[in-house]
Structure 1
């Protein structure tokens, strides 16, 4: 299967689909494709069907009988049989789809599968029965049936626990947003400082450039403010209301007001359950359910504290939602009035730097440490990278650590490969390095981690002073990491 020239990256996803679709083994097989909205799943699967001569069906929200009529009509158009299909139930429809692969391997895609399953809860069981190993229709077919959906909580449950389709799938593919480096290439931005600012607003969702911003990318660092005003804060563009629609499109989020308030609490810096409860003036137990639902929907991410058990913090997983809650939602009425965007943005830039850009930079530093940093720089391959608070019993204070990389446990204690400080707007100096050294001593005294090889990482968007550079040159344990390094190919 030849990947379309207009498809940006997605090499891993295309290769996985190619191997699954062209697998010559006999018997129909099942694949599950999921991912948040606007990541290009439909484009990817439609391209695969075109490349391999397959059948694509995009479900819509509606009654079960209507969906059966739609798939009957679509399959009739695709196969052009002597008489049109009129499926009385999904068992007939699935068997007809399996019949498409009697001669060779062929992809069959059912997109937005959660819509069909909500209208008919027995559909996963129907597919399970159709793919029963000893069933003649399955053995005679080489249909590669792909179920796709954006409702992450539902798609994640399809193959879990006692679900009917557990153990039936030969492919489970998650289409993720582009990372910060690929996103910069996709937006055509070569300046790392500008690239990270744009990434803090729109993340790595491909649709936000091509469809939502109509390929409007900042024309250099000086154009960033104008770009914000004419795209994200412009009521005429789809980006303006996208964050609100993302929440409304999640089927599990019924009390939208409560979920919006939980996200607003996190965007305002209340990253713990207690902090969110205080912001909402509720008990922590009252918000446990909305937090879990937001997690399942992929809108909220829980990060464990590397140094303290049972002290998780939360962050908004979609940058555009974080930008909306920090910048747009508090002044929504003003933004809806034409011509107000520039005035609002001038008054919001400081809040953008502190509440959006700073935390996003820290997360990019953690992602880089986990996925892109040379293991030799860290002294080993990280098993996990997070952040946390180290307690100082002498002064009764807690020291926040922006980046903490833990290696694979080889003995009694797992190695703490590195701890790091991430400052977007501050020049790193010797005081920052001395602070990390002190924190390393505290971790050593606590005895939980092996700190004999712990490196000190200093990330900065503003650079490093002469004393910090001299310290890094004098010690192999100190590493200064600037924006060009974060964006350099591995």
Structure 2
């Protein structure tokens, strides 16, 4: 559907950022053209979908219904009660014969004007009423066949990514009905810093390495944010490792909700293996002491639910690494998991004293490299490397001498299009969160480029880049001034291009 030239309500101040998402939903819901519309809103738990949709219906005078895990009869009764309150009519539970009547009643709200009608957590209804997608499809077909001037704007939302994908797959009756498909992701690292009210980039990086960009987690710690870099460790103890805050067991609850009733012990162990440095299915299976088939099933489940993602190596595309997408899960399984039982008997500060070195090495280091890749992809000036990045990934080459475990690596490898050639190598970069970078780091990157050239890679356009969380030596700054290297520090990551 296209937008019409009518005024749109401004985004409420209670909705942080999400400008693009608000505009897309607002345009869809307020479109005055005839014909019922359908939108799909998905995204993992805790990302603010419900808050955004409630704000939309409040701004446009729409109807919101939040589904729950309940029987078909109870869901219909709750929906009827909610619709009666909205319209000022009589609850219709005894008049509705089933979902056919309920869907018709919801769509009838759009007979007079465009009106957003939200069914939140739609998968919870489908679990008890598998016929519901077909019922909705039939209702839309009837509206189309009768030519009724209906402008209902139905929005179906859900946090269960596997179910949402299945509901709108090729085989689904809802396929092709949607005018808008919108996914809410985590806030990016810059948005997260503003959301937590943190101006100091080093502190923002540490907090993001713990809680990522999930908006709900600030509420889970009672809006408690570190007051400054010196308060970070105390904040972890009082807000994250405190059994009295909802965040304390959030990693456990998140895994429980996302993986349903599968083998959660195996999932926890798989995440612990990933957080400790294992990155391929074979390495994880070996760490678990489990058959590869069991490990693969577990990892596939975590991927389907958006908790893991595949990342092909920038130099060896057949080498696929797995990465935890939710920072809180990486923090939990690398730094906290080995000490979880001690938190009930010991002071949190004592536990954190033992966990902090692991956090710095196994969590913050890889997280810093990920933020550097995100910066190149989302914030760097396209002219910095000569073209707009197409892919930004970790890359590794086997040691030429064949020494095991001696790969030559680059944490930030940028590829793009140069002329007619896609996939051209634009940059190889090293990311060091806790090292002042010097000329040897540049020499490492030059050596890597020599290896790539010897292997047949065109390195003509490739620029070395150094990313550091603590700075660069004068000698490396001088090399930057002569155009020999690109330097990116925390200030540039958080504020520059």
Instruction: Tell me if TM exceeds 0.5.
Output: yes
Matched, 1:478 2:494: no
Q: How does 1:387-466 map to 2 (within 5 A)?
A: 387-394=394-401, 397-408=406-417, 410-411=419-420, 414-447=423-456, 449-466=457-474
Matched, 1:65 2:83: no
Question: Please, which of 13, 23, 36 is the counterpart of residue 5 of structure 1?
Answer: 13
In the TM superposition, residue 85 of structure 1 has moved relative to its aligned partner by 4.7
Q: How does 1:48-447 map to 2 (within 5 A)?
A: 48-81=56-89, 84-86=92-94, 87-132=96-141, 135-136=144-145, 139-209=148-218, 211-250=219-258, 252-337=260-345, 340-394=347-401, 397-408=406-417, 410-411=419-420, 414-447=423-456
| Per-residue CA distance 1:117-145 (angstroms, 9 max, x = gap) | 11111111111111227635674311110
Residue aligned with 2:269, SS: helix
Deviates more, 1:172-181 or 1:462-471: 462-471
Residue aligned with 1:166, SS: coil
Distance 1:175 1:311 in 2: 29
Residue aligned with 2:241, SS: coil
In the TM superposition, residue 412 of structure 1 has moved relative to its aligned partner by 5.3
Per the alignment, residue 487 of structure 1 pairs with: 494
Unaligned runs of at least 5 residues, structure 1 = none
Distance 1:138 1:293 in 2: 44
2:387–2:418 CA contact under 8 A, matched in 1: no
| Per-residue CA distance 1:217-248 (angstroms, 9 max, x = gap) | 10011000100000000000001000100011
Distance 2:28 2:56 in 1: 11
- Distance of aligned partners of 1:367 and 1:97 in 2 relative to their CA distance in 1, 3 Å threshold: same
Distance 1:299 1:138 in 2: 44
In the TM superposition, residue 12 of structure 1 has moved relative to its aligned partner by 0.7
Distance 2:42 2:266 in 1: 26
- Distance of aligned partners of 1:3 and 1:189 in 2 relative to their CA distance in 1, 3 Å threshold: same
In the TM superposition, residue 156 of structure 1 has moved relative to its aligned partner by 2.1
Residue aligned with 2:185, SS: coil
Deviates more, 1:465-474 or 1:217-226: 465-474
Distance 1:468 1:283 in 2: 48
Per the alignment, residue 5 of structure 2 pairs with: none
In the TM superposition, residue 80 of structure 1 has moved relative to its aligned partner by 1.9
User: What is the number of residues matched between the two proteins?
Assistant: 486
1:38–1:207 CA contact under 8 A, matched in 2: yes
Report the TM-score when normalising by structure 1.
Answer: 0.96
Report the TM-score when normalising by structure 2.
Answer: 0.95
Deviates more, 1:388-397 or 1:237-246: 388-397
Deviates more, 1:433-442 or 1:384-393: 384-393
Distance 1:257 1:122 in 2: 34
Unaligned runs of at least 5 residues, structure 2 = 1-8
- Distance of aligned partners of 1:82 and 1:358 in 2 relative to their CA distance in 1, 3 Å threshold: closer
Distance 1:240 1:59 in 2: 27
Residue aligned with 1:414, SS: strand
2:259–2:301 CA contact under 8 A, matched in 1: no
Distance 2:195 2:496 in 1: 14
1:459–1:481 CA contact under 8 A, matched in 2: yes
